[in-house]
């Protein structure tokens, strides 16, 4: 399997090179040259597989023979062996109409672990095999950072620097990142918001000379390995529902800020998984909702919400979706992204919007609706949602028609977001791993929002 850029200026490269390149060198994003098409026989066989077995099959399609199957199997087993639940990503039937795909059973209690346990091990494997240095640079609105750090902390040949928006992540998210004392970890707290952090790292990656000289690698969902790993749980969840007797397509409701998680579902659908609607759930930072409903992609005013991981205006995977929407036409995408840079917005024509709406519906959940959904679900079913998952459940309630089945992705454990939970008077018991964080010293460096300041810190660290 080869990978190409959405902007057409990167020749076909293999999986390992695509992982190492992260952001495509022409400023676009890497995508598989061809998407595997799965037959109904293959899907039926995959239904019998455990999560790691299924992940091995999906990864094999995208990696080909580049990593020997035995090595890949070990990478997968090591990655999912760290999860606290034997099913890795179980589907919980909370009520007749509410199915929750619990993605928070990994080491940092967020869905990011599903891909980042694997990517951390993969980087370590590549570093050993090729004797190369891996310098990871990432941006987080809270969950990716902790998860990426956990995936590589203490690993030989790897250093990791994570930028987070100072004071704009939850207390537990901050502690998960900044209490790690391994010498290969650097946390930069940026004065600004997540979009500033993401812009800085994207600009540093776009400086190809700097990226190559300092071996900069990506762990955000601009890295195609992240997306591919996240497609697996869509298959797994749809198979669980089929086993429970649900015939026909399944809808997925996906809380998303960067369009990575929902794009993974879109790929699964294009590969042949019978998915009905992809329900895009977001918060008051509703650029993606406005795109799905009006066909206009234009960053708006930034809001701090109870779901801080989705406090994002510029969605880094959106370009990958546009690439498929425009028939994999790299020249068109290149021109669109150039015009977005000068105009600050993208407007698609009516026929394209109709195409978007065949696959997606969207709901931007306001803060009070988010809290009300958590409260209602707790009162009615005794199940505690985190605020991001609550946005997904609120959107699922809005769009699931009679007789349809919707799986809501639960992206994080509620203990990570107690600031919101305690507002509705619910007292939760923290898992011991989270409770223990409050006693540990923190380590982080405060920086302003300029590329030069970040670069200076990187040069000291790498």
Ligand X SMILES: N[C@@H](CCOP(=O)(O)O)C(=O)O
* CA dist., res. 453 & res. 222, Å (int): 23
Interface with ligand X (CB under 6 A), residue from 124, 282, 293, 309: 309
Interface with ligand X (CB under 6 A), residue from 27, 106, 142, 392: 142
Task: Kindly state the smallest distance separating residue 403's Cβ from ligand X, in Å.
Answer: 33
Site string for ligand X, 312-341 (x = CB under 6 A): ----x-------------------------
Q: Which residues pair with 163 in a beta bridge?
A: 139, 188
Calculate the alpha carbon distances from 170 to 56, 176, 307 in Å: 34, 10, 9
User: Which DSSP string corresponds to 355-378?
Assistant: HHHHHEEEEE--HHHHHHHHHHHH
Contact region with ligand X (CB under 6 A), list: 6-14, 17-25, 49-57, 137-145: 137-145
Which residue pairs from 342-345 have beta carbons closer than 8 angstroms and sit at least 24 positions apart in sequence?
344/298, 344/299, 345/296, 345/297, 345/298
Other residues' Cβ atoms within 10 Å of the Cβ of residue 439: 8
SS3 percent helix, strand, coil of the chain, rounded to 5, is 50, 15, 35
Task: Kindly state the smallest distance separating residue 451's Cβ from ligand X, in Å.
Answer: 18
Site string for ligand X, 62-101 (x = CB under 6 A): ----------------------------------------
Contact region with ligand X (CB under 6 A), list: 6-14, 60-68, 142-150, 238-246: 142-150
**CA quadruple 43, 114, 97, 310: dihedral positive or negative?**
negative
* CA dist., res. 444 & res. 446, Å (int): 7
* CA dist., res. 47 & res. 238, Å (int): 9
Task: Kindly state the smallest distance separating residue 388's Cβ from ligand X, in Å.
Answer: 9
Enumerate residues 6+ apart whose C-beta is below 8 A from 286: 300, 364
Judged by CB, which is closer to ligand X: 269, or 388?
388
Task: Kindly state the smallest distance separating residue 228's Cβ from ligand X, in Å.
Answer: 13
Task: Kindly state the smallest distance separating residue 425's Cβ from ligand X, in Å.
Answer: 27
Judged by CB, which is closer to ligand X: 142, or 414?
142
221 binds ligand X (CB under 6 A): yes
* CA dist., res. 387 & res. 345, Å (int): 29
Using CB under 6 A as the binding rule, the residues of this chain from 394 to 453 that contact ligand X are none
Judged by CB, which is closer to ligand X: 136, or 238?
136
Question: ∠ at Cα 185 (179, 189), nearest 5°?
Answer: 70
The three-class DSSP label of residue 418 is helix
Enumerate residues 6+ apart whose C-beta is below 8 A from 270: 35, 324
* CA dist., res. 210 & res. 202, Å (int): 12
282 binds ligand X (CB under 6 A): no
Judged by CB, which is closer to ligand X: 58, or 139?
139
Contact region with ligand X (CB under 6 A), list: 78-86, 125-133, 141-149, 428-436: 141-149
Task: Kindly state the smallest distance separating residue 37's Cβ from ligand X, in Å.
Answer: 26
Task: Kindly state the smallest distance separating residue 86's Cβ from ligand X, in Å.
Answer: 26
Task: Kindly state the smallest distance separating residue 142's Cβ from ligand X, in Å.
Answer: 5
Is 371:388 a contact under the CB 8 Å cutoff? no
Is 292:280 a contact under the CB 8 Å cutoff? yes
Enumerate residues 6+ apart whose C-beta is below 8 A from 351: none
Interface with ligand X (CB under 6 A), residue from 144, 184, 334, 400: 144
Contact region with ligand X (CB under 6 A), list: 135-143, 276-284, 397-405, 447-455: 135-143
Site string for ligand X, 224-263 (x = CB under 6 A): ---------------------------------xx-x---
220 binds ligand X (CB under 6 A): yes
Interface with ligand X (CB under 6 A), residue from 25, 102, 113, 143: 143
Contact region with ligand X (CB under 6 A), list: 48-56, 136-144, 327-335, 376-384: 136-144
> Is 112 designated active site?
yes
Interface with ligand X (CB under 6 A), residue from 108, 124, 140, 408: 140
Structure tokens at 82: 């760290």
- Residues counted in the chain: 462
Number of residues located near ligand X, criterion CB under 6 A:
13
Instruction: Kindly calculate the radius of gyration of the chain based on its CA atoms and give it in whole angstroms.
Output: 20
Local structure of residue 141 (DSSP, 8 states): S
Candidates 48, 73, 74, 112; catalytic one = 112
Judged by CB, which is closer to ligand X: 103, or 241?
103
Burial class (CB in 10 A: 0-12, 13-18, 19+), 374: buried
Judged by CB, which is closer to ligand X: 211, or 378?
211
Contact region with ligand X (CB under 6 A), list: 121-129, 134-142, 182-190, 419-427: 134-142
Calculate the alpha carbon distances from 350 to 292, 294, 296, 361 in Å: 11, 9, 11, 16
Where does this chain bind ligand X (CB under 6 A)? 140-145, 220-221, 257-258, 260, 309, 316
Show which residues are catalytic.
Answer: 112
């Amino acid at each position: 399997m080869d990978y190409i850029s959405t902007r057409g200026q990167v020749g076909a490269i293999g999986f390992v090179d695509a992982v190492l390149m992260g952001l495509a060198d022409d400023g676009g994003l890497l995508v598989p040259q061809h998407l595997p098409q799965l037959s109904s026989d293959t899907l039926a066989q995959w239904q019998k597989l455990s999560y790691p077995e299924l992940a091995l099959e999906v990864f094999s399609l995208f990696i080909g023979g580049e990593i020997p199957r035995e090595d890949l199997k070990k990478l997968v087993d090591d990655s999912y062996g760290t999860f606290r639940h034997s099913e890795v990503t179980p589907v919980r039937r909370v009520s007749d109409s509410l199915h929750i795909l619990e993605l928070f059973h990994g080491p940092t209690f967020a869905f990011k672990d599903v891909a980042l346990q694997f990517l951390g091990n993969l980087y370590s494997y590549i570093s050993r095999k090729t004797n190369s240095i891996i310098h990871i640079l990432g941006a987080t609105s809270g969950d990716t950072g902790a998860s990426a750090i956990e995936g590589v902390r203490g690993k030989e040949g790897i250093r990791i620097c994570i930028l987070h928006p100072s004071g704009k992540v939850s207390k537990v998210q901050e502690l998960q990142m900044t209490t790690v004392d391994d010498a290969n970890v650097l946390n930069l707290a940026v004065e600004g918001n997540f979009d500033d952090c993401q812009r800085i790292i994207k600009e540093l990656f776009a400086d190809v000379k700097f990226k190559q000289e300092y071996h900069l690698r990506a762990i955000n969902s601009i890295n195609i390995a992240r997306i591919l790993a996240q497609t697996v749980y869509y298959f797994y969840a749809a198979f669980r529902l089929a086993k429970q007797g649900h015939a026909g397509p399944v809808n997925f409701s996906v809380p998303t800020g960067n369009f990575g998680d929902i794009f993974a579902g879109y790929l699964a659908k294009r590969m042949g998984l019978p998915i009905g609607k992809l329900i895009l759930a977001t918060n008051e930072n509703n650029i993606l909702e406005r795109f799905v409903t009006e066909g206009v992609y234009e960053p708006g005013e930034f809001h701090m919400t109870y779901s801080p991981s989705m406090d994002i205006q510029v969605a880094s995977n959106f370009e990958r979706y546009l690439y498929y929407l425009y028939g994999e036409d790299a020249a068109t995408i290149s021109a669109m992204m150039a015009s977005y840079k000068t105009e600050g917005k993208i407007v698609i024509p009516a026929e394209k919007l109709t195409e978007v709406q065949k696959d997606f519906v969207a709901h931007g959940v306001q803060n009070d609706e988010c809290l009300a959904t958590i409260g209602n679900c707790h009162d009615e079913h005794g199940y505690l949602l985190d605020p991001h998952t609550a946005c997904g459940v609120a959107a699922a309630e809005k769009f699931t028609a009679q007789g349809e089945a919707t799986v809501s992705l639960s992206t994080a454990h509620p203990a990570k977001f107690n600031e919101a939970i305690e507002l509705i008077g619910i007292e939760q018991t923290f898992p011991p791993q989270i409770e223990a964080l409050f006693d540990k010293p923190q380590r982080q460096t405060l920086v302003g929002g300029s590329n030069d300041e970040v670069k200076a810190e990187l040069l000291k660290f790498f």
